[in-house]
Amino acid sequence: DVNIMLKNVFDVVCGALAYYMVGYGISYGSPSNGFMGLGDYFVDGDPEDPLKTGLLYSRYIFQFSFAATSTTIVSGSLAMRCRFPVYCIYSFYAVIVYAFVAHWVWAKDGWLAQLGVHDFAGSGAVSLLGAMNGLIGVSMLGPRLGRFDDSR
C-alpha cells in the first residue's frame, strides 16, 4: 500500500527532525537524572575535534534508527484507520515519547537501568513501545471502516 510506504518515509524524515531537535538530548543528554537527559539538544559536533564529532553523529544515527523503528511498527497497525496528516503529527511526538523510554532503559542513570533492567536489541524499548502505541491507536480508532462488512 502506498499509504504505508509514505508513512514509513515520513517516520524517518519527521522522526529524524524530532530526534535531532530534542530526542537525543532526552535519551542521552548531559546532565541527566533518572527520568530524562537535560542537555545536548539539537545535536551539534565540535568543529575542533572531528573524531569526537564523528562518534557523536554515528551514535545519533544508530540511536535514531531505533527511534524510527519504534514509530514504523505503528504504521502497520494504523493502516487505513487514520488520515495521513494525523499520522504525521503522531510520528513526530512518538519519537519524543520513545526518547524517554530509551533513557529509562539504556542511559546509565535511567530509572529502569538502575533497577537492573537489561534490554537486548531493543525488544522492550523499541518493539514493546511500538506495539503498545499501536494497540492504543487501534483501540482509540476502532476497526478499519468497510474492511470486514463489504461496504467498501
pLDDT at 134: 92
Whether 64 contacts 16, CB under 8 Å: yes
DSSP bridge partners of 37: 32
Q: Is residue 132 scored above 90 in pLDDT?
A: yes
Rounded-to-5 percentages of helix, strand, coil across the chain: 65, 0, 30
In 10 A of CB 17, how many CB atoms?
14
State pLDDT tens for residues 37-49. 999 899 998 889 9
pLDDT tens column, 67-120: 999 988 888 888 888 888 888 888 889 999 999 999 999 999 999 999 999 888
**What are the backbone dihedrals phi and psi of residue 41, each rounded to the nearest 5 degrees, phi first?**
-75, 160
DSSP tag of 144 = P
